[in-house]
Amino acid sequence: MARWPAVSIALFLVFLLFGPLAGAALADEGAPSDSPTLPGVIALSAANSTTEPFTPSVTTDPLIPDPYFYSGGVRYSFLPDGGDCSSLLNCAVSSTPIQSAIDSAASGLTPDDGTIYVEGGMYAEDIVVNTLNNLTLKGSANGNPSTLNGLVNVLNSSNITLRDFIFGNVVRVSDSSYVTMQGTPTDDTITVTLQGSVQNLSVDGGAGSDAVTLNMDASSATVSVADSGAGSGDSLTVNATNGNDQVRLTTGTVSINGDQTINTSGIESQTINTGAGDDTLTLAGTFGDVDVNGGAGTMTISAESHVVAPGGQVSINSDGTLQVFS
């Protein structure tokens, strides 16, 4: 948080001296950076280090995170309850700072780089992205982790990116296309519920051992689950419905009822829960570790070709009747 009232005169003088440097640092802040800078902090740092190389320092308070974006080169800040807007222009305080930033962006205050920056902290608010195109929410904007503990709901939208967040709750994606979710360098747990028509959803846990769960309640879906991180131990759980499902499992692909397709890469183990109902499971190809769990009802299993699991195993469990054809 900037603290201008106490140092406003000093800041003014310093800003005259270091205006070009501060301006450059502010311009950089619009882009993703591990060292975001605040106007007051920049000036104070420069004033206190006349014989040292200019190195902006960051003293943001992790307890009072502040989503922000730039529009027309102007910073707009959205502080949570308890935040102090007194020294900030274009600043609003609310119990839902991320939603306030999204709503401002939706009302025509378009972020210059299409990005709302969310600094480190725990965010309890529910978030709705409704009928929006081309928006990125970037967490960890000051290098500290940002955790979204509320429900995140993306609907009727396109080209929406949620990146560098810890997802502490379910993300629901409904009737949307080109939604991208990217985790953090640590171990992530990402759960997505799909509804309606969801096309080109991408989920990438990044580095670490990540666990992705997809609840496939969509009428149609194309999903890519990848892992761009170097680590192993990444898992995917696919939950089919409690109705009668046709699940087809091939190398790198899980298909449900022919209209929901998940392409996978870099995932070491998969769990397919077919749920209740009379489900059919068709296997073809080469797999790592795969667990298939059936619920109540009949699960009918068939193999289209040789099923190979080098170094892994395919296990099939059913609470109901198991029929196997080869």
Which one among 56, 67, 120, 183 touches Ca ion, defined by CB under 5 A? 183
- What is the 3-state secondary structure of 91-111? EEEECCHHHHHHHHHHCCCCC
**Residue 294 in tokens:** 């059936």
Stretch near Ca ion under the rule CB under 5 A, chosen from 9-17, 258-266, 268-276, 310-318: 268-276
Nearest approach in angstroms of CB 104 to Ca ion is 30
Q: Of the two residues 125 and 204, which places its CB atom closer to Ca ion in the complex?
A: 204
Q: Collect contacts of 31-38 with beta carbons under 8 A, ≥24 apart.
A: 31/113, 32/115, 32/117, 32/138, 32/141, 33/141, 34/143, 35/142, 35/143, 36/60, 36/117, 36/119, 36/141, 36/142, 36/143, 38/1, 38/2
Closer Cβ to Ca ion, 65 or 275, answer by number: 275
> Which CB sits closer to Ca ion, 111 or 183?
183
Binding span for Ca ion by CB under 5 A among 3-11, 247-255, 270-278, 308-316 = 270-278
Q: For the segment 189-248, give every residue that binds Ca ion (CB under 5 A).
A: 205-206, 208, 210, 240, 245
Q: Which is nearer to Ca ion, 80 or 205 (CB)?
A: 205
What Rg do the C-alpha atoms of the chain give, in angstroms?
24
Q: Strand pairing of 127-130 and 152-155?
A: parallel
Of 13-21, 129-137, 176-184, 302-310, which part binds Ca ion (CB under 5 A)? 176-184
> Minimal distance in Å, beta carbon 321 to Ca ion?
13
Q: Rounded to the nearest whole angstrom, what is the least distance from the CB of residue 207 to Ca ion in the complex?
A: 5
Q: Of these, 277, 281, 301, 318, which contacts Ca ion (CB under 5 A)?
A: 277
Q: How far is the CB of 30 from Ca ion (least distance, A)?
A: 26
Residue number, 90 or 246, with CB nearest to Ca ion? 246
- Distance of closest approach, residue 228 Cβ to Ca ion, in angstroms: 9
What percent of the chain is helix, strand and coil (3-state, nearest 5)? 15, 45, 40
CB of 187 to Ca ion, least distance (A): 6
Size of the site for Ca ion (CB under 5 A): 12
Answer whether 215's CB lies under 8 Å from 236's CB.
no
The amino acid at 253? T
Shortest distance in whole angstroms from residue 146 CB to Ca ion: 14
Strand-pairing partners, residue 238, are: 214, 272
Asked if 163 and 192 touch (Cβ cutoff 8 Å), the reply is no
Q: How many residues does the chain have?
A: 326
Burial 193-230 (b: 16+ CB within 10 A, else e): bbbeebeebbbbbbbbbbbbbbbbbbeebbbebbbebe
Quote the least distance from Cβ 188 to Ca ion, whole Å. Answer: 4
Instruction: Work out the angle at residue 92's Cα, subtended by the Cα atoms of residues 135 and 119, and round it to the nearest 5 degrees.
Output: 55
Q: Which of 119, 125, 204, 279 binds Ca ion (CB under 5 A)?
A: 279
275 part of the interface to Ca ion, by CB under 5 A? yes
Interface pick for Ca ion out of 125, 164, 188, 227 (rule CB under 5 A): 188
Residue 306 phi, psi dihedral angles, 5° rounding = -60, 135
Closer residue to Ca ion (CB): 66 or 188: 188
Under the rule (CB under 5 A), what is the footprint of Ca ion? Answer: 183, 188, 205-206, 208, 210, 240, 245, 274-275, 277, 279
